[in-house]
Amino acid sequence: MIMYGTDSGSNNGIRAGDCAAFHAPPSVAVSDKSTIGACTADGDAIADPIDNCPLVANQDQLDSNHNGIGDACEACVGVGDSDGDGVCDPVDNCPTVPNPNQADFDHDGIGDACETGAKLADIDNSGRVDGYDLARFGHAFGSAAGDPRYDAGSDLDRNGMVDGNDLALFSAQFGKTAS
């Protein structure tokens, strides 16, 4: 990140003040400024990677139900809410099944409410439960949350352990197309 002198591995975002300083540096600053565009697509001062509603301006970042999605996006003004769960389609991680809490156990961007059957067992999200999924599952088998080999995507029953119960769920879906 160009706003930091060194990369510590955790400085991967731009603070609003840094963004403003980059685009309009103080007169005492010596810099080689280049135009990279706005730090935010919606016009508020919150950088998109940390904005809880990156498509709609919401400087206050209000999130009344504490689900990580800004109230301005949940209002769904002009963008729709196909499943009626109060989360607008552009930011809904499962736009066809109501899931107002946006739970995503394995952090793959697909809501838990949409991950059932073959879709759940398609660990690599390739569209098919195949050998690639089996390899990833096999690597994680016998592990528990906190273990280096633990893979939340392989924990199909979402109980913190990749075990025989997950194997039973996986094997029932092997060879199927995830839709």
Shared domain for 118 and 165, answered yes or no, is: yes
The verdict on residue 108 lying in a domain is: no
Shared domain for 25 and 77, answered yes or no, is: no
- Which single residue is written with the structure tokens 């394995």? 106
CA 168 to CA 157: how far, in whole Å?
10
Domains: count for the chain: 3
The verdict on residue 16 lying in a domain is: yes
Shared domain for 118 and 81, answered yes or no, is: no
Beta bridge partners of 128: 177
pLDDT score recorded for residue 81: 85
Shared domain for 77 and 118, answered yes or no, is: no
What are φ and ψ of residue 177, in 5° steps? -90, 135
The DSSP code for 178 is P
Sequence-distant (≥ 6) Cβ neighbours of residue 35 within 8 angstroms:
none
pLDDT score recorded for residue 33: 45
pLDDT tens-digit map of 151-172: 999 999 999 999 999 999 999 9
pLDDT (mean) for 55-81: 78
Please say whether the beta carbons of 45 and 20 come within 8 A: yes
Shared domain for 151 and 125, answered yes or no, is: yes
The CATH number covering residue 136 comes to 1.10.1330
Shared domain for 74 and 119, answered yes or no, is: no
Shared domain for 131 and 84, answered yes or no, is: no
- Domain, as residue range, for 139: 113-173
pLDDT tens-digit map of 92-141: 899 999 998 899 999 999 999 999 999 999 999 999 999 999 999 999 99
Is 80 exceeded by the pLDDT of residue 73? Answer: no
Shared domain for 97 and 140, answered yes or no, is: no
The pTM of the full predicted model, rounded to 2 decimals, is 0.59
Direct distance between the N- and C-terminal alpha carbons of the chain, in angstroms, rounded to an integer: 38
The verdict on residue 47 lying in a domain is: no
